[in-house]
Structure 1
Amino acid sequence: MRDVVICAPLRTPVGRMGGALAPVTALELATTVLRALVERTGIDPAGVDGVIGAQGYATMEAPAFGRVAALDAGFPVETTGYQLDRRCGSGLQAVLNAAMEVQTGVADAVIALGVESMSNAPLYTVEGRRGVTGAGLLLRDALSRGRETVGGDRFPTPEGNVGSAELLRAEYGISRDAQDALALRSHRRAVAAQESGAFAAELVNVPVPGRRGTVLVDRDEHPRADTGLEALGALRPILRRDPDATVTAGNSSGQNDAAAACIVTTPGRAAELGLEPMLRLVSWAVAGNDPLRFGVAPVPATNLALARAGIRFDDLDVIELNEAFAVQVLACLADWGVDAEDPRLNPRGSGISIGHPIGATGLRMLATLAHEMVDLDRELAVETMCIGGGQALAAVFERV
């Protein structure tokens, strides 16, 4: 099969839940990053075969999301598109689906797009078409409902992802102090990257209309420069019914808004389009496990991806492991035998500090990874994340 390279990975800033990007729809975030991709690369949109859109909380405001985003961004009507959902791995899965199309010759250049506006996730009913009773209609919150149903009937997760995280805490004997220390380290690395301008090359400014005119959002909102161990330690555990609970809002990932995208193509087609590849896809893998232990699924997924590439864990220069929860990261590190302070791990922060906009996270991570590989002069990296419901993705990339 043909070699696959990643070109021009870009992302919007990551907004907090209800924050600066809340007035902007998921579709508007997506079209913003697509237009920026065209402007920065100078690529003719007609040279793109399709757009694969990843989104975890889709609505019918933009069905077959990749197609609608492409049309709204000014791509020709011949540009195809669709949407996918592999929960937290959706953005990376869009890259991998694009890679498979390119590897097999179905397409020559595909844009992988990830987006989430958790601030605008829908409230919905499944009863309205049967008529309204005296009790009215039950509106479900898509965010919380998805975490409760992701294991299906056979593997219920009534306490959502937090309950699963607490299960790992008990199983691995991970302390609250260790979790808060990892969270603080994540924030400090993200803030340092912000202050040094390290994120500048990957960021796309987002215009947000307001009463006093349009404001450009050009900075991640989620990293906290003012946090510390004392502040993190003062936060109450989310599962208060459990006296041993340790998972808090401070050592967990955020609920966020963002979009990210990249061009997936062959080295030859990249040259024809005037693109400079940043990464080559070496291998990838997906793994499944018990939905209640989904946080450690990156371990078998990463091990399989590395085995397929003939690469040892020690050969990696960068380990981008999404921080769904600090306890989940620490559990994975324990299985790998990697120290929590290993400088290869999330050099510029991750889900706890930057945020976790579900459908965009995999591509946000890829944009950060690609640019830090250049800035830090690194050659080989893995990107991996756990996925609610008992899955994980992992992909090995090589700097071009």
Structure 2
Amino acid sequence: MTDLRDVVICSPLRTPVGRMGGSLAPLSALDLATTVLRALVERTGIDPAVVDGVIGAQGYPTMEAPALGRVAALDAGFPITATGYQLDRRCGSGLQAVLNAAMEVQTGISDVVVALGVESMSNAPLYTEEVRRGVPTGGMLFRDALTRGRETVGGRNHPTPDGNVGTAETLRAEYGISREEQDALALRSHQRAVTAHDSGSFDAEIVPVEVATRRGSVVIDRDEHPRADSTPEALAALRPILLGKDARSTVTAGNSSGQNDAAAACIVTTSKHAAAYGLTPMLSLRSWAVAGVDPRRFGVAPVPASRIALERAGIGLNDLDVIELNEAFAVQVLACLADWRIDAEDPRLNPRGSGISIGHPIAATGIRMLATLAHELPDLDGTLALETMCIGGGQALAAVFERAS
């Protein structure tokens, strides 16, 4: 077998992140995907004919765009030679699309691959599996894909009946993390995201999206989720989600990630092919790892995943200039930081906000984070970054990226 080739990431882009039922809700996941793919071609000038394939990540699909990567490529005007498929590693899906693309490029199977992540949680399906065998006595049951996915993600042997919120409360009890600590982290996240928007730090990574409304078309060019008006008092006033079951519960909508709509994409190739096609590498992939833990405490899975990825890169946490740890829940972030012995106010941690403030459009999040850190590193004069996220069901991904020279 030949030696593995180098891997570089070019032009990671994303749409704004929309609120659940917000400005992007009229658009399907396919609409968002084709928007970001067209922008990727326009901004890079790449000929779509040289793209070997599009790997599409989506956590809540329908059959309106089966094998999402292929359908999105065709709808975005790529030639019929551009192959594509769809994957789901829940919250890690977007980053997994990048890593799958990297493996294709490293091994020489492909030269240029587009990694795509998209989610329209506003349009997640309601479904039934019963009707094909006839309507059961008492009528049909339609399940909400969003809720059901969180209840079944641990399988039959590791049930999570209270969804991801219940697992977050498990960590709260295990680590002794207070409501005040969680709300403080959430407030910092919003403040950092708002500051990043106001300073123009997100401008280079965001693709404006045009949405048709009754009053005409509007252009969305800013994340909807960050709250400039968030205060300690407002966060403290929110009711814990599981308060009816546990009087000690602390996880609220304010210190948890949002349900959101967005798409993100990047080009994965070799430095040689990037030069040949006029692309500018922003990052190179140093290492990555995946780890599994008990689904009922999935939020701390980034700890073992990051340990393995850092060991493979030959570095430690102290060598990192940026740590992008997705904020599924404030309590989950704080648990990881406790294990890492990193202060919650460490300036390297999510310098421009994360899931609590920007939002967490499941399969788009990994590439959204990649787009953000790709611009953070040069802005902060940094070299090395860690991207990691917990994954519902007891997994985590972690990847070490280096600023391209």
TM-score after normalising by structure 2:
0.98
- The amino acid across from 1:327 in the alignment is V
1:277 aligned partner: 281
- The amino acid across from 2:152 in the alignment is T
2:171 aligned partner: 168
Alpha-carbon separation, structure 1, partners of 2:280 and 2:299: 35
- Please show how residues 327-342 of structure 1 align to structure 2 within 5 Å: 327-342=331-346
Asked if the contact 2:130/2:136 (under 8 Å) is kept, the reply is no
Deviation, 1:375, is 1.3
Alpha-carbon separation, structure 2, partners of 1:312 and 1:204: 34
Alpha-carbon separation, structure 2, partners of 1:294 and 1:133: 36
Alpha-carbon separation, structure 2, partners of 1:133 and 1:168: 40
Alpha-carbon separation, structure 2, partners of 1:291 and 1:29: 31
1:195 aligned partner: 198
1:325 aligned partner: 329
Alpha-carbon separation, structure 2, partners of 1:212 and 1:238: 37
Which residue of the other structure, out of 308, 313, 324, is the alignment partner of 2:317?
Answer: 313
Q: Does residue 10 of structure 2 align to residue 4 of structure 1?
A: no
- Please show how residues 157-306 of structure 1 align to structure 2 within 5 Å: 157-240=160-243, 241-306=245-310
Alpha-carbon separation, structure 1, partners of 2:44 and 2:11: 7
Alpha-carbon separation, structure 2, partners of 1:375 and 1:225: 23
Alpha-carbon separation, structure 1, partners of 2:61 and 2:381: 38
2:130 aligned partner: 127
Deviation, 1:134, is 4.2
Show structure 1 runs of 4+ deviating over 4 A: none
- The amino acid across from 1:223 in the alignment is P
Q: Which whole-Å deviations, capped at 9, do the CAs of 1:26-65 have from their partners, x for residues lacking one?
A: 0000000000000000000001000000000011000000
- The amino acid across from 1:385 in the alignment is M
2:144 aligned partner: 141
2:99 aligned partner: 96
Alpha-carbon separation, structure 1, partners of 2:364 and 2:153: 19
Over the aligned positions, Cα root-mean-square deviation in angstroms equals 0.5
Alpha-carbon separation, structure 1, partners of 2:51 and 2:394: 34
Asked if the contact 2:18/2:261 (under 8 Å) is kept, the reply is yes
2:120 aligned partner: 117
1:394 aligned partner: 398
Which residue of the other structure, out of 69, 73, 85, is the alignment partner of 2:72?
Answer: 69
Q: Does residue 35 of structure 2 align to residue 32 of structure 1?
A: yes
> 3-state SS of the aligned residue for 2:6?
coil
TM-score after normalising by structure 1:
1.00
Which residue of the other structure, out of 344, 348, 354, is the alignment partner of 1:350?
Answer: 354
Deviation, 1:312, is 1.1
Deviation, 1:133, is 3.3
> 3-state SS of the aligned residue for 1:230?
helix
Q: Does residue 60 of structure 2 align to residue 57 of structure 1?
A: yes
Deviation, 1:101, is 0.1
Q: Which whole-Å deviations, capped at 9, do the CAs of 1:231-262 have from their partners, x for residues lacking one?
A: 00000000022000000000000000000000
| Fraction of identical pairs, as percent | 80
Unmatched runs of 5 consecutive residues or more in structure 2: none
Q: Which stretch has the larger CA shift, 132-141 or 96-105?
A: 132-141
> 3-state SS of the aligned residue for 1:202?
coil
> 3-state SS of the aligned residue for 1:40?
helix
Asked if the contact 2:290/2:395 (under 8 Å) is kept, the reply is yes
Q: Which stretch has the larger CA shift, 129-138 or 4-13?
A: 129-138
Alpha-carbon separation, structure 1, partners of 2:313 and 2:198: 36
Alpha-carbon separation, structure 1, partners of 2:234 and 2:316: 38
Alpha-carbon separation, structure 2, partners of 1:50 and 1:378: 31
- The amino acid across from 1:37 in the alignment is L
1:377 aligned partner: 381
Q: Which stretch has the larger CA shift, 132-141 or 17-26?
A: 132-141
Deviation, 1:212, is 1.1
- The amino acid across from 1:182 in the alignment is L
